[in-house]
A and B are shown apart, each in its own frame.
Chain A
Amino acid sequence: MPLPPELALIDWTLVGKMGGSLIGIGLLYIVAWKMGLGGDPRIADEAEARLLAYDGLYGFDAEDVALDKAGMSALLRDAASRHALTFRVGNRFVTRLVPNTVGARLDQTLLTINLHEPDLPPVILNLGDQAQYWASGLRHIPDA
């Protein structure tokens, strides 16, 4: 039986390929997840945080480092009072220079930093009793 005219306009082979591709993509994602790929890396110590910031910002030379208690992120400062924020994305780490327009909120030991990037939610660091000190530092970042 011939297809109705509106359905005959559709390239069903292409639709089949696209559908098959989406199913394959979903299956590969599930397999990767079920296999436990990725792991749960943390920033082990200040030295690793310095290295991540140095590599991520091509030469950021941190003088002072505050590690998140869980090792998920770190806040660093160099000799010029520039601040760098290192945080985890997936199972890799990313570092950004913190602008002086940053949104920062202090709640006891938790310092929340919002870099206002479209794909980046606010980063929450548990800095213990250093949180207030670093929150103050964020208010004195020099102009870029």
Chain B
Amino acid sequence: MPDIIAPTLPNPVDYAVPGFILLILLEMIWARRTAPEKYEPNDTLSSLLFGFGSTVAGALTAGLLGTLFATLYQFRITTIPFIWWAWIACFVLDDLAYYWFHRAAHRIRWMWASHVNHHSSQHYNLSTALRQTWTGFIALSFIFRLPLLLIGFHPAMVLFVGGINLIYQFWIHTEAIGRLPRFIEAVMNTPSHHRVHHGVNPRYLDTNYAGVFIIWDRMFGTFTPELDEEPVRYGIVKQLGGFNLLWSVFHEWVGIGQDLWRAPWGSKLGYLFGPPGWTHDDSRDTSDSIKARLVDGHEAAD
């Protein structure tokens, strides 16, 4: 397999951080004028510290991830050069990989234990976008990107487009923007679509997993539009009871540990890899049971 010389690519997120801060400030000014309840200082602090911790955790595991990516890249089926169409293909395929990662992160408790961090605020503003996990590596979040390396996209390209994807997802975490023109809403992930994704209303649970292109949800049957008659309530099914940062970060991991300890032997794997809320005796709600009771049930009654 021929080697190619990879250009030295920066981490695009580093360059975006000043823009993130500026946009959060602008959104705060908007909130002060129109709806001060959209922000809560302790919640904002919590979200920003999540982001900070996530950066530290990312730096600690970067070496391992880089080694894994470089090793797998040696087993690629072809070599894709650094030319314009490769960037576009890599970006689109990476976004498809993101969709499946994100869907798995909501449907498999082991991965949810990490991703829950991003959803655990009851607010939806630009600071929520920075509410990122500290335990993504443990949750194996990276495995969905590995096929790109095996296809032949260079690790530097995969990481770069992943950074662009993350930057795109920042601005959609806002209630300051209503709906965009129809052709944009049809193709792109937008504030409206992503508000639905963060919703805990039964109808909105486990929908709109897209990163950049909402077409994946439309293709795979997980799209739900935002309804004017049903304002989105944000957060998680069992909302956090406070702002304790370490508890907020690790609470689902602690829950997994407690459930594993108590569960009958035949059920332990279900508590690890079943959907969030799954129990061997149906004593808790899952998103499916909530929808069956409160969405499908109502529709049947109607």
Q: Which residues of A contact B242 (CB under 8 A)?
A: 89, 119-121
User: Contacts of A119 on B, CB cut-off 8 Å?
Assistant: 240-244, 247-248, 251
| Interface 9-residue window, one of B38-46, B88-96, B160-168, B174-182 | B38-46
A58 to B25, CA, bound (A): 35
Chain B, 21-61, contact with A by CB distance < 8 Å: what is the 0/1 string? Answer: 10011001101100011111111110011011001100100
CB pair A55 B233 closer than 8 Å = yes
Q: In the complex, given contacts A21-B51, A37-B44, A121-B242, what are 4 additional A-B residue pairs having Cβ atoms less than 8 angstroms apart? A: A18-B55, A37-B32, A89-B239, A90-B122
B294 contacts which chain A residues (CB < 8 A)?
Answer: 58-59
7 closest pairs, A vs B, by CB?
Answer: A120-B241, A119-B242, A119-B244, A37-B39, A92-B122, A32-B41, A38-B40
B199: min CB distance to chain A, Å? 11
Q: Does A71 contact B (CB under 8 A)?
A: no
> Which listed residue, A24, A56, A144, touches B239 by the CB 8 Å rule?
A56
With A28-B24, A32-B44 as given contacts, are A39 and B36 in contact (CB-CB < 8 Å)? yes
Complex CA–CA separation, A110 to B205 (angstroms): 37
Picked from B17, B21, B40, B235, the residue with its CB within 8 Å of the CB of A91 is B40
Name which residue of chain B comes closest to A29, CB basis: B45
- Interface mask (A8-36 → B, CB under 8 Å = 1, otherwise 0): 00000010011001101100110111011
Chain B residue contacts of A95, Cβ below 8 A: 239
Give chain A's interface residue range (CB within 8 Å of chain B). Answer: 35 or more
Q: Which residues of A contact B41 (CB under 8 A)?
A: 29, 32-33, 37-38
Q: Does A2 contact B (CB under 8 A)?
A: no
A72 CB, min distance to chain B CBs, angstroms: 14
In whole angstroms, what is the CA distance A41 to B40 when docked? 12
Which of A17, A28, A59 has the most B CB atoms < 10 Å from its CB? Answer: A28
| Chain A contacts for B122, CB-based, 8 A | 89-90, 92
Which residues of B112-141 have CB atoms within 8 Å of chain A's CB atoms? Answer: 122-123, 127
Q: Is the CB of A18 within 8 A of B293?
A: no
Does any Cβ of A come within 8 Å of B283's Cβ? yes
A129 at the interface (CB under 8 A from B): no
B29 neighbours in A (Cβ, 8 Å) = 35
Considering only CB atoms, which chain B residue lies closest to A14 in the complex? B59
B241 touches A94 (CB 8 A): yes
Interface contact A22-B52, CB-CB below 8 Å: yes
Contact of A140 with B by CB under 8 A: no
Pair B244/A32 contact, Cβ less than 8 Å: no
**A18 x B44 contact (CB < 8 A):** no
Contacts of A96 in B (CB 8 A): 241
Contacts of A90 in B (CB 8 A): 40, 42-43, 122, 243
Instruction: Give the chain A neighbours of B296 by CB distance below 8 A.
Output: none
A4 at the A/B interface (Cβ < 8 Å)? Answer: no
B201 closest partner in A (C-beta)? A55
Point out the residue from A55, A91, A92, A118 that lies within 8 Å of B247, measured CB to CB. Answer: A118
Q: Using a CB-CB cutoff of 8 Å, which residues 257-302 of chain B contact chain A?
A: 283, 285, 290, 293-294
* A144–B284 CA distance with the chains assembled, in angstroms: 11
A sample of 26 inter-chain contacts (CB < 8 A) reads A17-B14, A18-B55, A21-B17, A21-B52, A21-B55, A25-B48, A29-B41, A29-B44, A32-B44, A35-B28, A35-B29, A35-B32, A37-B31, A37-B38, A37-B41, A58-B285, A58-B293, A59-B294, A89-B239, A90-B43, A91-B40, A115-B241, A118-B247, A119-B241, A119-B242, A119-B251
